[in-house]
Amino acid sequence: MSNQRVVLVTGGMGGLGETISTKMVDAGYKVAVTYSPGNKTHQEWVTQMADKGYDIVAVPCDVADYDSCATAVEDVRATLGAVDVLVNNAGITRDMTFKKMDRVNWDDVMRTNLDSLFNMSKQVADQMVERGWGRIINVSSVNGSKGAFGQTNYSAAKAGVHGFTKALALEVAKKNVTVNTISPGYIGTKMVTAIPKEVLDSKILPQIPVGRLGKPEEVAGLIIYLASEEAAFVTGANIAINGGQHMQ
């Protein structure tokens, strides 16, 4: 049954990741999240979630490191069982103009935002194919579709996410494994709501036809749909969830 399926959300303690994780628990899934090995507050987060009724397993994982990803997925298998749904949500920004960008800030974003898809998906895709069921959901960005000033690294990585999605979707389609991309716009996470109000009001909200930020719950709802039985005919898609900011 789908409500006993195991979900692994990378970056699941972040603003968007936390909402995805808790909403997946609400939907009846068994949920695990990854956290950066240097995160000293992970146990505090797990305890806070448990106090709210969310029993979520947390495993350390550097998504930019292949061996770390292999260990993390093994930890999840040992605790909850085989991963049925992988949500590749972890990501970072290192924004600056191309003129100022150095190799370190290029490489860091590429490794975390793009190489991580290979590192994580490689651990679960073959087993999904063998079992004849699986969902891989890759979180890209509106800026991977339209570009953004000061984000050559981030936009390139997020555009690459969908190229990965389309190719892998073709390879596993006949085995009832779907691979999809979602591309959120400006979502009301702590990172976005920390932007000064005058910048939000004058620069960002006027770009969004619906006139507001997206809600993390709306993104989580889309992911829950893509993880469901009803979404079995959706694969290789890039679903924009950006309030009309960018349409393709």
Give the separation between CA 162 and CA 158, rounded to whole angstroms: 7
* Closest CA relative to residue 60, chosen from 89, 83, 37: 37
Helix (H, G, I), strand (E, B) or coil at 58: strand
Give me the pLDDT at residue 1, please.
42
165-207 pLDDT tens trace = 999 999 999 999 999 999 999 999 987 888 899 999 999 999 9
Active-site residue identified among 35, 54, 66, 154:
154
Q: What is the pLDDT of residues 88-105, one digit of tens each?
A: 999 999 999 999 999 999
Cβ atoms of 184 and 215 closer than 8 Å: no
Which residues of the chain fall below pLDDT 50?
Answer: 1-2
Q: Identity (one letter) of the amino acid at 63?
A: V
For the chain, the helix, strand and coil percentages under 3-state DSSP, each to the nearest 5: 50, 15, 35
**In the block, which residue shows the tokens 């979180």?**
139
Q: Does the annotation count 54 as an active-site position?
A: no
- Nearest-angstrom CA–CA distance, 19 and 41: 18
State whether residue 28 is helix, strand or coil: coil
In degrees, rounded to 5, the angle at the alpha carbon of residue 92 between the alpha carbons of residues 76 and 143 is 115
CA distance 244 to 71: 40
State the pTM of this model: 0.96
Residue 163, pLDDT score: 98
Three-state SS for 181? strand
Kindly list the structural domains of the chain, giving each domain's residue range(s) and its CATH number in brackets, ordered by start: 2-241 (3.40.50.720)
Yes or no: say if 13 and 42 are a contact pair by the CB < 8 Å rule.
yes
> What pLDDT is recorded for position 2?
45
Query: Which three-class secondary structure state does DSSP give residue 123?
Result: helix
3-state secondary structure of 143: helix
Q: What pLDDT sits at residue 235?
A: 98
pLDDT at site 63? 98
Instruction: Give Dmax over CA atoms of the chain in angstroms.
Output: 52
